[in-house]
Amino acid sequence: MDNRIEQAKEYLEEHEIDGWLLYDFHNLNSLALDFLEIPKGTHITRRFFYWIPKKGTPIQLVHCIEPHVLSHLPGEKKTYQKYKDLRKHLEEMLRHCKCVAMEYSEENHLPYISKIDAGTKEFIENIGPTVTSSGPFLQQFTCTMDDNQIDMHKEAAIFVDKLADDTFNYIKEGLTSGKVVNEYEVQQWMLKQMKENGFTWDFAPTVAFAEHTADPHYSPKDHETSKNLNKQDLVLLDICSKKDSPKSIYADITRMAIAANEPTEKQKEVYAIVREAQEETFNFIKRRYELKEIVKGFEADEICRDFITERGYGDQFFHRTGHNIYQTVHGPGAHLDSLETLDDRPLIPNTAFTIEPGIYFPGDFGVRVEYDVFIHNNGVLENTTGAQDTIRCLL
């Protein structure tokens, strides 16, 4: 932890911020808890602050009823009982500060890092300093992987790729033998494979047939309301999974097939466009790193989105290009997004993210490709899950 605090001080110096004020109440600030290495589910019922000044010794500010919640951290401990005492301590801590970092996003541009409420921001700013976002440096502590986590991510990548292949074979076997193949039944078969192999998930796999492929977040809920597979139907699988072990990292892929011996010309055209857009995005990020230039999440999204828009399908691409991957499938780091948010955080080494463009025609069909990318410490990009160049034919 001492090393992390010293690193944080370096970032504060770099960004000309007087200090980092980490705050939580009832486990609402997951980013602060991660940085402070406070286990999930810790009994926190009172407000605490942990102050890391740009220069000097950290300070713990805790309620007297929960004096040990930050005891594992370095620094002087101050306790409060009354809310007036809390304010006095903060006034003393921040009296020479002009700018402090907190988990805040201006106008909530990045809700992923906007963890403090408006009242807390007003409270701190009424004391004196301006509150700025910890976002520019926060992901250095909340989504970078160590060597063991990199290995677990790659193990998950191998597993989900094989699971997709096995699932298509399972569907094909049912299709060719004349059995009813149902979205929900296939999904439950996949979950069984994940459990038996020691993997877990945030979201059950997407198994979508026919027009359901045009719903990016479709998920079968039960056998009765799910579709049965017919010949000529497209099949979309979206699988996210990780080892069922502490600090494991997700892999997340989308794969597509068709219950026919060949896709339609329209399906082939659209699939080729999203696949090219995926590679354009990967190569853009790769070139930036080779030039030792910063690349931000929104910039990568714009490259992908412009490619699809120039080919006439911009309105059919209505989600972000990709997301950070970490211990949750949608991790706390930079996303490839200029649509839903303007993610101006850089894509940094030792993190992973998806590239997953899609084109959707509601009520008809949709296509999406998705693979995972890891940025090595030396700036080299690695596609960890492999790519699917064409729609797989099941007949």
Instruction: Specify the CATH number for the domain of residue 244.
Output: 3.90.230.10
203 shares a domain with 152:
yes
45, burial (CB in 10 Å: exposed 0-12, middle 13-18, buried 19+): exposed
d(Cα 179, Cα 285) in Å, to the nearest integer? Answer: 45
- Say if 142 falls within a structural domain: no
**Pick from 136, 171, 198: which residue ends a domain?**
136
The pLDDT assigned to 1 comes to: 78
Paired residues of 187 in beta bridges: none
DSSP letter at 390 equals S
118 shares a domain with 245:
no
**Pick from 97, 116, 136: which residue ends a domain?**
136
Q: Any idea what the CATH number is for the domain that residue 86 is in? A: 3.40.350.10
125 shares a domain with 269:
no
pTM, 2 dp: 0.94
- Say if 141 falls within a structural domain: no
65 shares a domain with 16:
yes
The pLDDT assigned to 84 comes to: 97
321 shares a domain with 190:
yes
d(Cα 282, Cα 383) in Å, to the nearest integer? Answer: 9
129 shares a domain with 209:
no
- Say if 41 falls within a structural domain: yes
162 shares a domain with 123:
no
- Say if 367 falls within a structural domain: yes
189 shares a domain with 246:
yes
How is 290-347 classified by DSSP, letter by letter? HTT---BHHHHHHHHHHHHHHTT-GGG--S-SB-EESSSSS-SS--B-SSSS---PBP
How many domains are contained in the chain? 2
- Say if 172 falls within a structural domain: yes
Range of the domain at 310: 147-393
Q: Given 3-state DSSP classes, what are the helix, strand and coil percentages for the chain, each rounded to the nearest 5?
A: 35, 20, 40
d(Cα 182, Cα 175) in Å, to the nearest integer? Answer: 10
- Say if 51 falls within a structural domain: yes
164 shares a domain with 94:
no
What is the mean pLDDT of each successive set of 10 residues along the chain, which is 395 residues long? 92 96 96 94 95 97 97 97 97 97 94 95 97 94 97 98 98 96 98 98 97 96 95 98 97 98 98 98 98 97 98 98 97 97 96 98 98 98 98 97
Paired residues of 254 in beta bridges: 238, 370
382, burial (CB in 10 Å: exposed 0-12, middle 13-18, buried 19+): middle
325 shares a domain with 199:
yes
Q: Do the Cβ atoms of 256 and 234 come closer than 8 Å?
A: yes
The pLDDT assigned to 58 comes to: 98
The pLDDT assigned to 135 comes to: 92
DSSP letter at 370 equals B
326 shares a domain with 287:
yes
158 shares a domain with 88:
no
- Between CA 250 and CA 373, with CA 171 as vertex, the angle to 5 degrees is 25
**Pick from 110, 136, 162: which residue ends a domain?**
136
